Structure 1
């Protein structure tokens, strides 16, 4: 899948909350940036070579710049640390995308749920729902008032937004919020794993396809099946590569000299999406829904494996 890559300039950095900055990025050439839809993200390629994914959270109609929000994570792999410590206005960076694994569709009404920096993909959804004139409610949680970015923007929506700073009022009451299933209502949520796990439990009785969520970190979880070796047949090059236990498809392909796109290598960004031409993939990503998994016509080769002895991929 072809991904747009271009050079951008940091137009502005702004403190949005304790430990959170927003970046405004404009095209170095001054051209309009590619259009995007709510839920989309870009891959930010830092001068160190580190590549990280961040949700777009600015106005959809303003193609003069992109806005992303970044929380400083001291235990991260260095991306947010670099942004907070070294990045300054005027600096050049590269971005890839936008790409969207968290697509937003029109519904009769919405319940939005966000935890911390998980507010970033939800912000454009809120704006879009408002522009459509559709009923919506946002439940927004964080550790403290001061740690919750974009509060001032959200206050403009009045009572539609309910803030839950944990040190004052406790966590979002998910069971209460999701108890009633309203016809035509859909749920969109993003946040840390405890929030998503609580959401899935509280919304277990909701109809399939009405609850959508995005993680910004992959889950620490074991596979339900034991790794076994299998062969990947690359349709374009004719190469066959054996993938041994404990090694990913993408690593085996890299070692065999087959170039592939990749970024997160944890099944959350979507950059390594690959068409499956033959065979049955074993999906281990955090992106595909049950219907897409059952279709078996695409997979994310950084984490997923095979149920069959051979997989033929569009590579």
Structure 2
């Protein structure tokens, strides 16, 4: 069943406040009907709306992919965000209603791999929880490395134990020398053909990915999920043409393609505004792309046939989109 474009209204059946400012939200259908299945690594787009805040935000599913009675997500309260997480923490009360889209999966698990290495940094552990449950059900060899600042802000410990995953989850805390992650040793011990998955803060992900490449793990076996990213949208002015709409506009130095087109009446669906969710991907008919997103693969970027118009720009003076 294709659930990528389905829109649902779900009730918050249960809220569990975990250490580290993380709220675990269990969502059920209003009539108690089973929910569509999802695959490990999938996320929900959640509509966060209250007062002046009207945003869509992406949250990975951490529940068991085999369970159909509910979806579960983890939400980090981040005071440095644009208001989405703060608002969701405030309005997420048991019995309240949320509008969601999905599940969607841009971070799929390769179940045939002989060995899987999962690296979750902070809230980045949420998709890894679903992956760990699935790999355990398949009887596959894997280890989940869960990295946090300290033991006191480490969420999901009870859930790890309840799910029977204590033997495959290794905790690493920045303030405990004896538990710090020895990434070189873990990568050196990886079996031939192993796949690596990483999610967490951008610096953490960049470190894991660059080191994995140095150890000979091919980019096609390195899988990443960005929750957010620092994006620089500045640059020289250029012209963007929406071919099917017959519209041509100038994109200013601090403006995005999506916003420039919106002012000219060409609507492009945008959700994350950070180049991590893929909602705004458009096909490119002409022009060279200055990719600034974290959604497209390196191969897709080299092909130059599509771009994320919420953040990426043209390298030249003109780019033509199939919009």
Do these two structures clear the TM 0.5 threshold for a shared fold by scoring above it?
yes
Distance 2:32 2:153 in 1: 33
Instruction: Answer yes or no: is 1:201 the counterpart of 2:210.
Output: yes
Shift of 1:308: 4.1
Report the TM-score, using the length of structure 1 for normalisation.
Answer: 0.90
Structure 2 match to 1:119: 125
Deviations 1:168-193 (A, max 9, x none): 33532212222345311111111112
Q: How do 1:1-315 and structure 2 match up within 5 A?
A: 3-28=5-30, 30-48=32-50, 49-106=54-111, 107-155=113-161, 156-168=164-176, 169-205=178-214, 206=216, 207-219=218-230, 227-315=235-323
Aligned mates of 1:276, 1:27 — CA distance in 2: 39
Q: Structure 2: how far apart are the matches of 1:16 and 1:190?
A: 19
Confirm or deny: 8 A CA contact 2:146 2:171 kept in the other structure: yes
Structure 2: which 5+ residue stretches go unaligned? Answer: none
2:220 partner SS: coil
**Structure 1 gaps, min length 5:** none
Q: Tell me if structure 1 keeps the 8 A contact 2:230–2:274.
A: no
Displaced runs of 4+ in structure 1, greater than 4 A? none
- Following TM superposition, by how much is the alpha carbon of 1:30 offset from its aligned partner in structure 2, in angstroms? 4.4
Q: Which whole-Å deviations, capped at 9, do the CAs of 1:52-73 have from their partners, x for residues lacking one? A: 2111111212233211001222
Shift of 1:31: 4.4
Instruction: Give the TM-score normalised by the residue count of structure 2.
Output: 0.88
Further displaced range: 92-101 or 162-171:
162-171
- Given that residues 110 and 195 in structure 2 are in contact (C-alpha distance below 8 angstroms), is that contact kept between their aligned partners in structure 1? no
CA RMSD after TM alignment:
2.2
Compute the displacement of 1:282 (Å): 2.0
Quick one: structure 1 residues 30 and 255, their matched pair in 2 at CA, closer, same or farther if it must change by over 3 Å?
Answer: farther
> Relative to structure 1, is the Cα distance of residues 271 and 33 closer, same or farther in structure 2, using a 3 angstrom cutoff?
farther
In structure 1, C-alpha distance between the alignment counterparts of 2:84 and 2:235, rounded to whole Å = 31
